[in-house]
Amino acid sequence: MKEMIKNRRSVRTFEDVPLKDEDRKAIEEYIATLDNPFSIPVTLKIFHAKEYGLTSPVIVGAKEYLVGKVPFLPHCEMAYGYEFEKVCLFALTKGVSSVMLAGSLKREAFEKAIDVKEKEVLPVASPLGYVAKKMSLREMVMRKAIGADNRLPFEKLFFSQNFETSLSKEEAGLYLEALEAIRLAPSAVNHQPWRVVKENDVLHFYEFKTIKESPIGDVQKIDMGIALSHLDVVMEENGYQGEYFFDEPSIAKGDSLEYIVSYRALQK
């Protein structure tokens, strides 16, 4: 999965073929094993696009969509983003690509498919399929407009003890590979809201808010959940088990920053 983080990109143009039965089955079995650091139940299912009228103006060729829902509770976007990204990374190990869609989808059809009830939300859905040989012109233009291939430099995202001092790669120590993996994560409009302060052996996660919250939640908290999934994938593959806890440190921060959660690596 660690390799998938380095190789991934959002895909919007797919081969005009359905998922192979064995790939769909493997993804469904993987979904059944998932949980998240917030212990909020996330439902994820694969649907045939045609049968449920699932469409997106930015997607070409996908025959299936991954759709989900979560109870509308504090941290629900993070729980959802965490599990959703793990499925996307696992799917990629089978050669199946995806792109999270928060805005570019016909929401009513997706909500109907997964049967969103009162006090539940569908944060994002994604097509699942095999990447087409040629990217659609629309996808090319979109990627360019968003600057999808760009990422902020390490020192603008990760800090040491406080927000005044950038974290050096040497100081990152056992967290270096995980932080680099967070930097490569997908995020809404590629805004990359993840900020991390390393205080001794603990990582404190903050969200740098640039997108207004909507009635169905904060899309950038999905990004934060994605970052935590990249952290766990790398730390687990490197032989660590993490512990998450809420304990906001008294670190001075700007108004746009919201404390999210803290993490400490433990040897397995």
Binding site for ligand FMN (CB under 6 A): 9-10, 58, 99-104, 124, 142, 146, 148, 186-190, 219, 222-223, 226
CB of 10 to ligand FMN, least distance (A): 3
Q: Which is nearer to ligand FMN, 110 or 240 (CB)?
A: 110
DSSP state of 18: P
H-type alpha helices, the chain: 2-7, 21-31, 49-52, 76-93, 107-114, 137-146, 154-157, 169-172, 176-183, 219-237
Nearest distance from C-beta of residue 150 to ligand FMN, angstroms: 9
Query: Looking at beta carbons only, is 186 or 265 nearer to ligand FMN?
Result: 186
Q: How far is the CB of 207 from ligand FMN (least distance, A)?
A: 12
92's tokens: 């990629």
- Cβ–Cβ < 8 Å for 220, 193: yes
> Cβ 205 to ligand FMN, closest distance in Å?
16
CA–CA gap between residue 169 and residue 174 (Å, rounded):
10
Name which of 93 and 136 has its Cβ closer to ligand FMN. 136
Closer by beta carbon to ligand FMN, 10 or else 262 = 10
- Asked if 61 contacts 129 with a C-beta cutoff of 8 angstroms, the reply is yes
Closest chain position to ligand FMN (CB): 186
